[in-house]
Amino acid sequence: MEQPEGQAAGPGLGFGVFFFAAVGASAAETYRLMLDCARGADRLGFGFVSTPERHFHRFGGAFPNPAVTSAAIAAVTERVQIRAGSVITPMHPVIRVVEDFAMVDAMSGGRAAMSVGSGWNVNDFVLAPGAFETRRQRMIDDIGAIREAWRTGEWKGENPRGEQVELRVFPRPVSAEPELWITASRSPETFRQAGALGTNVLTHLENQDPKALREKIGMYREARRAAGHDRGKVTVMMHTYVAGTDEAARAVAVPALKRYLLTAIDLESAAVSAGGGMSGGREGRDFMSAEDARARLAELGVNRYLDGNSLIGSVGTCAATARRLMESGADELACLVDFVDEPRRVLDGLERLAEVRDRVSR
C-alpha cells in the first residue's frame, strides 16, 4: 500500500474510542456510557480510549478534567491505553499535569498517554488569563517540562518565599517516558513542529480532506526524520456509527450529528462574540449568530462528513473509508462514538466497529 514519499509502512491501522459528548444536564448518563464503552473497547481489543478537556459549554462540557475520566477508565479496564486528548497545558501548572497522569499511569500499570493542545477558546482562559497570548509557545515549553519531570521525578520551582526549590515528584509513573501527541488541525506548521519535537499527532477531518491530510503527514514525517526520530504516529479522529447498512447508519447518525454540530457552532459563535477566534485558527464569522445560518452550516457539515470523511455507514463502507485514511498515512483512527445520544445504539455500533477493524486488518 502506497505511503507518503520516503516513509516505511507502519504496522497497520489501529482503532480506538474517542469521547466528546455534547450534554446539558445528562452528564451522569454520559459517564455511564463512557465506562460501558471503555469496558467494551477493552473486551473487543481496541487500542485506546480517549477523553478530552473542555470547559464552560455543553459541547464537551462533561469532560473538564481528563485526568479524572482517565482514572475512572483505568479502574474498569485492563488492556487499552488510556489517553487524554487534548490536555490544554497552558491553562494548568505543568507539574500538576505530571502528577495527575503519573497517578493514572501507576494505577493502570503503565497505560496512560496524552495529547496536548494550546487551546483556542478565549473564554476557556478565565482559568489562566495571562496565558492566552503566549499559549502556543507555552505548549511547546510544557512538552519539554512534562518529559523531564516524568523521566527524572524532579521539579524545580519557586516557593512563596521566592526561593528556588528542587522537589521530588510523586507518585512515580510506571512508564519510563510519557507517550505524547500534539493536537493539530489546519496548520502545516503544527505538523512540522510535532515532527521536530518527536511527538505523535492527533488530528481530524473537520477542515481538511484526506488529500490535504496526506500532504501534512508527509511534512510531519520529514520533520521527524530530519530531527532523528522514527516515523511517529498519526491518529485521526472520525465521527463513527456503524450499522448493518448505510441507510440504517444514516437514519440514526444524521439527526444526531446535526444536533451535535449545532452545539459546536454555538460554542464557536460564543468564542467569536467574546473577541476570540474559531477553532483551528479560522477567522470568526458573524453570520453564525443567525439561527438559519447555523442550521445551514450544520447541514453542510453533515453532508461533508457523509462524503467519505467519517465512519458512518455499513461495515463495508466504513472499512473502505478506513483504508483510504491508511493510504493517506494515518496510523490510527480515534472513533468519536458518543455524538449518538442513544447508549444502546452506541454500544451496538462498537461491536460492528470491531468488524470494521478486523476487515481492514485482513
Peptide bond into 86 cis (omega under 30): yes
pLDDT of 360 above 90: yes
CA-to-CA distance for 324 and 330, rounded, in angstroms? 9
Instruction: With beta carbons less than 8 A apart as the criterion, state whether 361 and 265 touch.
Output: no
Show Cβ contacts of residue 43 under 8 Å, excluding neighbours closer than 6 positions: none
pLDDT at res. 282: 52
In tens, the pLDDT along 248-279 reads: 999 999 999 988 888 778 776 766 655 565 55
DSSP class of residue 160?
Answer: T
Which residue do the cell numbers 521525578 mark? 153
Of 37, 206, 246, 18, nearest to 115 (Cα)? 18
Of 237, 193, 251, 245, nearest to 219 (Cα)? 193
Show Cβ contacts of residue 99 under 8 Å, excluding neighbours closer than 6 positions: 169, 170, 171
| pTM for this entry | 0.90
In tens, the pLDDT along 172-222 reads: 999 999 999 999 988 999 999 999 999 999 999 987 888 899 999 999 999
Determine the angle formed by the axes of helices 66-76 and 27-44, rounding to 10 degrees. 50
At 290, is the secondary structure helix, strand, or coil? coil
Q: Which helix (H) or strand (E) holds 164?
A: strand 164-168
Of 101, 15, 27, nearest to 60 (Cα)? 27
Q: What percent of the chain has pLDDT over 70?
A: 89
pLDDT of 8 above 80: no
What domains lie within the chain, and their CATH numbers? Answer: 14-247+312-361 (3.20.20.30)
Instruction: With beta carbons less than 8 A apart as the criterion, state whether 114 and 182 touch.
Output: no
CA-to-CA distance for 152 and 302, rounded, in angstroms? 47
> What average pLDDT score do residues 113-138 get?
94
Residue 299 CB-half CA count within 13 A: 6
Residue 71 CB-half CA count within 13 A: 10
Instruction: With beta carbons less than 8 A apart as the criterion, state whether 325 and 210 touch.
Output: yes
How would residue 7 be classed by pLDDT, with cut points 50, 70 and 90? very low
Of 303, 299, 307, nearest to 262 (Cα)? 299
pLDDT of 337 above 90: yes
pLDDT at res. 3: 38
In tens, the pLDDT along 78-110 reads: 999 999 988 999 999 999 999 999 999 999 999
